[in-house]
Chains A and B, each alone.
Chain A
């Protein structure tokens, strides 16, 4: 009985000591850390940036997590992260919450992204107008034969409502950019918890249509050429077409900070993000680089 107590005590003590070592074991080296969270569209980009930056600056530690633009911004407002990634601009009510909490978020456009509309490679449909896609996602068009495809039911895939991509798609495609329009996705739309889930289902299912950031699209699915009006031209999503401004659904990707005058690691990191080296990673990952420094 007493022996066992002693052993338990010893184990407890060891754990305690181990904990202490972890806390104070930095051995003089001034290490700095940064929490980065938000958009799932940007998570691969943010991870690649963080890895490269940490390789060059061993004293810096940057942890990156996804969860969605809304999740990242609400973490920024709650003060649990230093930089929030968002694939949409901050909403007015989020800005009000920030001001109520006593700070003005800094906004940086760090890259651009095109939304690719994807179908199964077996699907013969090659191009659609935005109006047709809107009708598909509002369940007005329910069969592929109505848009020049085979006689198959259409299965609509979308990201969850906490995704910036979802909100962007709702505003720019379903509502065709019309602010007074109140159309929404029809209830039959499948809301997938991840980009990978959409790609996996579209790659497997010839009935499916989905959308995703250009950086996520793999070889297993087919991208559609899109046009704003029925006469065309129908444009495929690519870095060149986004930069030329011809692809109709492209958007800015943002980083938000807790202050509009960041300092220390946040400032250094943001400056590096706009460097040629970091923007090279942007184009490597299928996103579109930006040129202007903050």
Chain B
């Protein structure tokens, strides 16, 4: 009897705690969103739209054009995705499908260490090793370019893609692979035609989370991209310096007077960043849920 009521009480406490933890994340996101809106939307009143969506960013003289920053972030993120997707998915496939057990035992912890590496350390490596190397190798005016940033960001997002992608591949039932091999498919045909499509939703989620990580990364990017607010529209923009939204917020937020136009515009950039990562997430969940519906149909 006594025991029973104690169990019930602890059950209640635990349920309450878990519920509170669940709701708190909703509450936090809402609070952050409201705060961003409150601090960022006044920018539309402080700065006229033509200036805000202009092509020149030089805030201390009232040039608040955010296009170079948006395009700079997109360029670096797309570059990072091009580096990280083949390497990340490839590594995940290798670990899950090809590697013998002992290599798997070594690779998995190594990838986890790479995931735990602070980005400032990677940025430091970038500035001392990658920047001089890329300048000499590609004969560029400077090694501080969008491409250098993309490579660094690629390295940062690879561990995310590998560990989530590998989990997704592991959930594919062994019978699928056996069936494919029994039908005479080669190992590569099995991976490309059966295992990867079966794990598609998980792999796409992994890629999207990796891209989200790249989009929001600040420190490494700030150290290696040169931070020049150039509109990256030339054909060789990838090999020219750019300035990203995150680097701009990080390097300028410390200096602005609270409530000034510059302050509101920096928060407005925060809103743009928030919306972009929201789009990435919505796209990811759209793709994965669509895939699940099809898979359920096939199986039923």
**Which residue numbers of A lie inside 8 Å of B, CB to CB?**
67-68, 70-71, 74, 93-94, 97, 152-153, 155, 160-162, 167, 182, 184-185, 187-193, 197, 200-201, 204-205, 207-208
Contacts and interface: CB of A to CB of B under 8 A. Distances in A.
21 contacts: A70-B255, A71-B255, A74-B257, A161-B60, A161-B255, A162-B252, A184-B61, A187-B228, A187-B231, A188-B230, A188-B241, A189-B228, A190-B226, A190-B227, A190-B241, A191-B229, A191-B243, A193-B227, A197-B127, A197-B223, A204-B143
B35 to A, nearest CB: 19
Contacts of A161: 58-60, 252, 255
Looking at A185, A193, A200, A208, which has the most chain B CB atoms within 10 Å of its CB?
Answer: A193
8 tightest A-B CB contacts, nearest first: A162-B255, A70-B255, A190-B226, A191-B227, A153-B141, A155-B142, A71-B254, A204-B132
B243 A97 contact: no
A74 B255 contact: yes
Contact of B142 (A71, A167, A185, A205): A205
A155 B58 CA distance: 18
A258 B11 CA distance: 56
A191 B143 CA distance: 14
A98 B77 CA distance: 42
Nearest to A152: B141
B252 A193 contact: no
Interface string B218-234: 00001100111111000
B128 interface: yes
B81 interface: no
B135 interface: yes
A67 B254 contact: yes
Given A190-B144, A201-B144, A162 B251 contact: yes
Given A97-B257, A205-B135, A207-B141, A191 B228 contact: yes
B56 interface: yes
A152 B231 CA distance: 23
Contacts of B229: 187, 191
B162 interface: no
A93 B230 CA distance: 29
B142 A160 contact: no
B146 interface: no
Nearest to B240: A188
B138 to A, nearest CB: 13
Looking at A71, A187, A193, A200, which has the most chain B CB atoms within 10 Å of its CB?
Answer: A187
Given A191-B228, A193-B227, A68 B127 contact: no
Given A70-B255, A71-B255, A184-B61, 15 more contacts: A74-B255, A153-B141, A155-B142, A160-B227, A167-B60, A190-B142, A190-B144, A191-B228, A191-B251, A192-B226, A197-B127, A200-B128, A201-B144, A205-B132, A205-B142
Interface string B229-271: 1110000000001010000000110111100000000000000
B80 interface: no
Contacts of A71: 254-255
B228 A188 contact: yes
Interface in B30-76: 56-61, 63, 68
A223 to B, nearest CB: 20
Nearest to A194: B223
A205 B143 contact: yes
Nearest to B144: A190
Contacts of B128: 200
A153 B58 CA distance: 23
A99 to B, nearest CB: 14
B242 to A, nearest CB: 10
A93 B257 contact: yes
A182 B61 contact: yes
Contacts of A67: 254
Contact of B254 (A152, A162, A197, A201): A162
Contacts of A167: 60
B204 interface: no
Interface string B91-135: 000000000000000000000000000000000000110011001
A30 B257 CA distance: 36
Nearest to A97: B257
B75 to A, nearest CB: 15
A71 B131 CA distance: 29
A155 B257 contact: no
Looking at B56, B59, B141, B223, which has the most chain A CB atoms within 10 Å of its CB?
Answer: B141
B131 A160 contact: no
A185 B141 CA distance: 18
Contacts of B223: 193, 197
Nearest to A155: B142
Given A70-B255, A200-B127, A201-B142, A192 B231 contact: no
